[in-house]
Amino acid sequence: MPQSFDLFFASSNFNKFQEAKKILGGFGINLGFFQCKMEEIQSNSLKEIAKNKAMQAFHKCKKPLIVEDDGLFIDSLNGFPGPYSSYVFKTIGNKGILNLVKQNRKAKFVSIISFYDKKNNESFESKVKGFISKKIMGRGWGYDPIFIPANSKKVFAQLNKNQISHRFKALKKFSNWYLPK
């Protein structure tokens, strides 16, 4: 029998979905995967990008859904790669980032969760501050092997990040709004 889901997560990134499913499962929300590729509008605002993606996905999925847009913002690079994090990861990767970052290693991960169900378009933002490591550590997806959250010596790839990540914090805000009071 087909499973029925409370809500869909529209993305082409299965790693993000797996984390989101685990996190929202903890809040009692059963999340389904709507695998889809969305156009990314050119904008410096993650919120505008996420909102636009949520509307595009709803057009195809026709069910209440969330999309997530993230960015890694590095202080010494004036916030680069920020909204271009996905492209930069695909092109220069973690090695390329390590070559660019020298003394000041401060950085933050930002997540926007955007919900759309035709009536409501709500966005929830959270961030995690930290540092870029000096070398690639552990195994993980995306920038997890080079991002050290504040007050830690380990990178996301070596930690149980689902309780501290930008994604966890934004999804927690979302579920506080979404779940009946």
Is the CB of residue 1 less than 8 Å from the CB of residue 127?
A: no
Active site residue 69: yes
Nearer to ligand IMP, 119 or 139 (CB): 139
Show contacts of 94-97: CB within 8 Å, 24+ apart.
94/136, 94/143, 94/145, 94/146, 95/136, 97/132, 97/143, 97/146
CB 31 within 8 A of CB 3: no
80 binds ligand IMP (CB under 6 A): no
Backbone angles phi, psi at 111, to 5 degrees: -125, 135
CB of residue 114 to ligand IMP, shortest distance in Å: 11
Query: Interface with ligand IMP includes 141 (CB under 6 A)?
Result: yes
Choice from 51, 108, 167, 169 touching ligand IMP (CB under 6 A): 167
Number of alpha carbons in the 13 Å side-chain half-sphere of residue 100: 20
| Residues that contact ligand IMP, how many (by CB under 6 A) | 15
10 is an interface residue for ligand IMP by CB under 6 A: no
38 binds ligand IMP (CB under 6 A): no
Q: Which residues bind ligand IMP (CB under 6 A)?
A: 13, 69-72, 85-86, 89, 141-144, 156, 165, 167
